[in-house]
Amino acid sequence: MSDRIIPIADLRYQARLPLIPSAPVTPVGLLADVRGRRLHDLRISVTDRCNFRCTYCMPKSVFDKDYAFLPQSSLLSFEEITRLTRLFVQHGVQKLRLTGGEPLLRKRLEALIEQLAGLRTPDGTPLDVTLTTNASLLRKKAAALKAAGLKRVTVSLDAMDDAVFKRMNDVDFPVSEVLAGIDEATRVGFRQIKINMVIKRGVNDEQILPMARHFRGSGHIVRFIEFMDVGASNGWRMNDVVPSSEVVGLLDEAFGVEPVGPNYVGEVAERWRYRDGTGEFGVISSVTQPFCSDCSRARLSTEGRLYTCLFATAGHDFRSLLRGDYDDERISAAIAAVWSGRSDRYSEIRASETVPLRKIEMSYIGG
């Protein structure tokens, strides 16, 4: 296979056919990239559609009523996703996160979760199957997700104030419905739900303390995320970023906090806890404190493009392999070749980029 760029007009879908070595690297076994980073997490986007129009992800100015989303025939089937995931697991993946768009818009998602939850690592350990959602459909689907084998849920919520939240999601969706989804997920057995809050200066930074106050003592964990320059449509500026150090300082002054060690090497969030024992929170500092050196995540788009960085400009077309005359050994060797050649470190070199890159949109690749 050649490592050529497929000439497709829409840059969202620019992808290389992955190189399959003529003398394949071993098709199974743990992988390390050129910087020694192990493959541990696979994020799987199951749809490019969303029912929100968050200004930092899918602004209405771009994703309007005429926007052309992917047709159903372009999406990987559940069987294709499961087959490819099984091969990733042979290379060291232990954690799966289903994303979108909004993943709960994908019909029969519970069937995919059941298939993925049935996979095992080479030593027989079940996978950690998780999902990130805006929670608009969580109250209705939480029980079915739990029954299918989903382990954990992460909810996106950017403000406790209804007016601020509605301005940010831009579809007039209320905070109360998100909280109802979290409550239902808790009721059916999901524990320690994570709440992702993307902070944009002058937009919702005054909501940091209300968010912390609401979830302290709940057993859930808020993760405060720096506004990132993912994609090319969210109008990112450095002046809009609230550094995580500022967030930690604000919470320390209000409540008293102290650092906590990571759960595993490559964990995205830096962990902190309240000194009074009322729980913990996290900060994700991709802009001001890049964690490229430990990044262990690969991303699979809804149409089967593999990306080795959240800020990628192109991916590797695995759908063509899945739907072509390729056996598992050759596809597995292609996975190994892609990861072994990985050298991404965009967040570390962001400031040195003199020409803006046309990066893949977050709604297409997943967060």
pLDDT confidence of residue 6: 31
Three-class secondary structure of residue 245 per DSSP: helix
pLDDT confidence of residue 118: 97
pLDDT confidence of residue 7: 31
Which residues, given as ranges, of the chain have pLDDT below 50?
1-11, 13, 354-355
Please name the helix (run of DSSP H) or strand (run of DSSP E) that holds residue 199, with its range, or none. strand 194-199
pLDDT confidence of residue 20: 66
CB burial string 114-133: b at 16+ within 10 A, e below: bbbbebeeeeeeebebbbbb
First vs last Cα of the chain: how many Å apart? 30
pLDDT confidence of residue 8: 31
pLDDT confidence of residue 4: 33
Task: Map out the domains of the chain with their CATH numbers.
Answer: 11-365 (3.20.20.70)
Phi, then psi, of 205 in degrees rounded to 5? -65, -20
pLDDT confidence of residue 30: 87
Read off the pLDDT of residues 310-338 as tens digits, 9 standing for 90 and up: 777 778 999 999 999 899 999 999 999 99
* Torsion sign over Cα 54, 69, 353, 314: positive
Mean per-residue pLDDT of the chain: 87
pLDDT confidence of residue 156: 97
Read off the pLDDT of residues 262-287 as tens digits, 9 standing for 90 and up: 887 667 889 999 999 999 999 998 88
Percent of the chain predicted with pLDDT > 70: 84
Residue 319 CA to residue 296 CA, distance in Å, equals: 22
pLDDT confidence of residue 286: 82
Residue 116 CA to residue 95 CA, distance in Å, equals: 11
